[in-house]
Chain A
């Protein structure tokens, strides 16, 4: 028994070392990576200042296409932010034990993508200095206002949802990292002490943590669903072909879950490789996540069919022009590539067990994530180029749109910002919830002991039947 407890302690110690190791050093490659990200962000900032100074005319957007790459990226980032809710909250609520090593990266992805997703509509404004007017003079009956409220609510909730399971880990970091030789020691000590909020692991503290986490797990799911539903309302509540659709709410939510969970797999693959977490994020995790993405892709494909099949059957004039352009016009290549390449092909790949292995699944997920981004672009731009009133007496260039270097640079800067925040986070905090993984080991151990005891008792009971004078040992 003592040997067993010793082994268990050793295993827990190994988990702690494996989780905290990446936070103890900032290697040369990390510094170069951060430098590259800062360069991209700096250039994006310069382009944004140029846009601020000279107006939105420096972008490729004009009167007809006033929502271009920026708003497409906004929807994409908000979609990615659903990952944390799905993987963490849903798997937590359904008590899926295998979730433990991957929840933190999923929750982090939610917060950072939501943060930049929320910034992008402000970037898209010609006069961002007037953003305060939205709060002073905002009209509650406007879907734009609902969007602001929903995103602020979800961002706050996601931050809480990320922070709560970090508290015991922060206490661990406070007690261990600050005594060893790690970069920014003083700052870390201060940060971990503040974030640990005096955690000592008392019974009442564990009780409060469990209570708050249970509440947040329940609350965050409808909030997340509401966010993407409201984002879809910005489009669906207009009377424009391609947007005015009753299926848009669930369609956006399904699209967000499908791309978000694919992004979680990408995060899993990257951290597994970089931080040598192969022992914890196993092929089984990829297989199970692959099954989830497969299910979500099938739901998304079904809603996609509804979104296009019904208007295509009716072919009402304005809708007909838009669909013609998507099916065999100027956007047909992108449209069909999205449908077959990023929906149908992943379904086929992920249906095969080999397609859900750690080597194949991340590649499929890259295709899904890239496809989801292009799909958002195809939702936003073609509709704007097909207004009810014909485009006339305007410069010819206004009747088409392709983002220019300003939009690409600013968008790239936002993406770089996401990577930067994730990198800094992973260098300050453990990317796996240490206490949750430990808890998983203990549960596994208890199950093993219980199973052994059960086997022993069954054997003894069988023995007693044959020898009634023998006393049971339990």
Chain B
């Protein structure tokens, strides 16, 4: 029995080694466990969802830090100096593990929250951890569509212990325009600091293309703020220039949603004619067989 198990394990090891060579994926450290690092970021999006993103990198055989994929990351929240487990998330191909935070997160005395990310008891990487402290902030966008000056006003507030809103002073807010594949800075200098009232005003430039109705989506974002992390909000308004779609008089047939009728008719007629002939041949072949049966009867 032992011999069978030994043989099987040797075979599995050989197959595993072979598969490793064939696929060219050498993720395992050469000797023992390798060193890993965790970078944590916090995001509060316009839909009020809160996420923590852990980027895991590990040393490869060349000593370079590369994204560690499929690695288990344990997330905790600190409460009364104790760690409460939130969830376990595996990293994707780019080494990112994304945790969506629950709404009723336990808070510290100063109303901040502490998130801890850990790699624990991993077969490939040494144990490591990283933590971040952030406070919850709100970013409110105010704009009047009829304002000729096109002023976008953002108010940044945090919630006090008594539940009241406290303006955040001196926070940098960046202004962007939403495009199809991402966001574009709304101006060359798109960063404005908040004043004593927690407000920052930005004059939206002219001639930024919008959609066919001139609607643009303005995005205001605090980026990597020490106290509040990444917080954003967005609003749509018709301050963009109207996008005029000029119909191409000679469109390329391939890009059209429907095939030109003459093309459909031509292809159907040509190939339909050929296939009709084939069916006629099949029909004649059936008759060849019937001729034989007829002869047999006679």
Contact surface of A with B, Cβ cutoff 8 Å: 50, 53-54, 58, 139-143, 146, 149-150, 153, 156-157, 160, 164, 167, 197-200, 202, 204-205, 208-209, 211-212, 215-216, 219, 223, 226, 237
Partner of A142, one of B254, B274, B275, B278: B254
Measured CB to CB, the nearest residue on chain B to A226 is: B270
Q: Does A212 contact B281, Cβ atoms closer than 8 Å?
A: yes
Q: Is B85 in the interface zone, CB < 8 Å from A?
A: no
Whether A141 contacts B259 in the complex (CB less than 8 A), given A153-B275, A205-B288, comes out as yes
CA distance A50 to B281 in the complex (A): 42
Q: Is B247 in the interface zone, CB < 8 Å from A?
A: no
Q: Does A216 contact B292, Cβ atoms closer than 8 Å?
A: no
Q: Is B289 in the interface zone, CB < 8 Å from A?
A: yes
Q: Does B274 contact A140, Cβ atoms closer than 8 Å?
A: no
Whether A205 contacts B291 in the complex (CB less than 8 A), given A140-B263, A153-B271, comes out as yes
Q: Does B259 contact A212, Cβ atoms closer than 8 Å?
A: no
Measured CB to CB, the nearest residue on chain B to A144 is: B254
Number of A-B residue pairs having CB atoms within 8 Å of each other in the complex: 74
Q: Does A149 contact B277, Cβ atoms closer than 8 Å?
A: no
Q: Does B288 contact A167, Cβ atoms closer than 8 Å?
A: yes
Residue from B253, B288, B292 whose CB has the most chain A CB atoms within 10 Å:
B288
CA distance A54 to B23 in the complex (A): 6
Contacts of A156 in B (CB 8 A): 278
Q: Does A141 contact B274, Cβ atoms closer than 8 Å?
A: no
**In the complex, what's the smallest C-beta–C-beta distance from A116 to chain B, in angstroms?**
22
Q: Is B284 in the interface zone, CB < 8 Å from A?
A: yes
Given contacts A200-B295, A215-B277, 9 further A-B contacts (CB under 8 A): A141-B253, A141-B260, A160-B278, A197-B289, A202-B295, A205-B292, A208-B288, A215-B280, A226-B270
Interface of B is mostly: helix
Interface flags for B254-271 (1: CB within 8 Å of A; 0: not) read 101001100110010011
Whether A141 contacts B256 in the complex (CB less than 8 A), given A149-B271, A205-B288, comes out as yes
Q: Does B291 contact A202, Cβ atoms closer than 8 Å?
A: yes
Q: Is B207 in the interface zone, CB < 8 Å from A?
A: no
Q: Is B293 in the interface zone, CB < 8 Å from A?
A: yes
CA distance A208 to B259 in the complex (A): 40
Whether A198 contacts B288 in the complex (CB less than 8 A), given A140-B259, A141-B253, comes out as yes
Contacts of A219 in B (CB 8 A): 274, 277
Q: Does B281 contact A160, Cβ atoms closer than 8 Å?
A: yes
Q: Is B197 in the interface zone, CB < 8 Å from A?
A: no
Q: Is B285 in the interface zone, CB < 8 Å from A?
A: yes
Question: Which residues B19-52 have CB closer than 8 A to chain A?
Answer: 22-24
CA distance A160 to B281 in the complex (A): 8
Q: Does A198 contact B274, Cβ atoms closer than 8 Å?
A: no
Measured CB to CB, the nearest residue on chain A to B273 is: A219
Contacts of B179 in A (CB 8 A): none
Partner of A54, one of B22, B259, B285, B291: B22
Residue from B253, B254, B280, B291 whose CB has the most chain A CB atoms within 10 Å:
B291
CA distance A140 to B253 in the complex (A): 10
Measured CB to CB, the nearest residue on chain A to B281 is: A212
Whether A153 contacts B274 in the complex (CB less than 8 A), given A140-B259, A141-B260, A160-B281, comes out as yes
Q: Does B287 contact A208, Cβ atoms closer than 8 Å?
A: yes
CA distance A157 to B281 in the complex (A): 10
**In the complex, what's the smallest C-beta–C-beta distance from A383 to chain B, in angstroms?**
18
Contacts of B291 in A (CB 8 A): 198, 202, 204-205, 208
Q: Does B284 contact A157, Cβ atoms closer than 8 Å?
A: no
**Interchain Cβ contacts under 8 Å between A and B, 12 examples:** A54-B24, A139-B254, A150-B271, A153-B271, A160-B281, A197-B288, A197-B292, A198-B292, A215-B277, A215-B280, A223-B274, A237-B254
Partner of A211, one of B259, B274, B278, B284: B284
CA distance A143 to B275 in the complex (A): 19
Contacts of B271 in A (CB 8 A): 149-150, 153
**In the complex, what's the smallest C-beta–C-beta distance from B285 to chain A, in angstroms?**
6
8 interchain residue pairs of minimum CB distance: A198-B292, A141-B259, A140-B259, A198-B289, A197-B289, A204-B291, A141-B253, A212-B284
Contacts of A223 in B (CB 8 A): 274
Q: Does A157 contact B253, Cβ atoms closer than 8 Å?
A: no
Contacts of A209 in B (CB 8 A): 288
Whether A141 contacts B254 in the complex (CB less than 8 A), given A149-B271, A153-B271, A160-B278, comes out as yes
Q: Does A216 contact B254, Cβ atoms closer than 8 Å?
A: no
Residue from B263, B280, B281, B289 whose CB has the most chain A CB atoms within 10 Å:
B281
Contacts of A50 in B (CB 8 A): 22
Contacts of B259 in A (CB 8 A): 139-141
CA distance A276 to B256 in the complex (A): 59
CA distance A143 to B254 in the complex (A): 9
Contacts of B274 in A (CB 8 A): 153, 157, 219, 223
Q: Does A146 contact B285, Cβ atoms closer than 8 Å?
A: no
Whether A146 contacts B292 in the complex (CB less than 8 A), given A140-B259, A141-B253, A215-B277, comes out as no
CA distance A350 to B121 in the complex (A): 76
Q: Does B288 contact A199, Cβ atoms closer than 8 Å?
A: yes
Measured CB to CB, the nearest residue on chain A to B282 is: A160
**In the complex, what's the smallest C-beta–C-beta distance from A111 to chain B, in angstroms?**
15
Measured CB to CB, the nearest residue on chain A to B260 is: A141
CA distance A405 to B64 in the complex (A): 30
CA distance A198 to B287 in the complex (A): 10
**In the complex, what's the smallest C-beta–C-beta distance from B18 to chain A, in angstroms?**
11
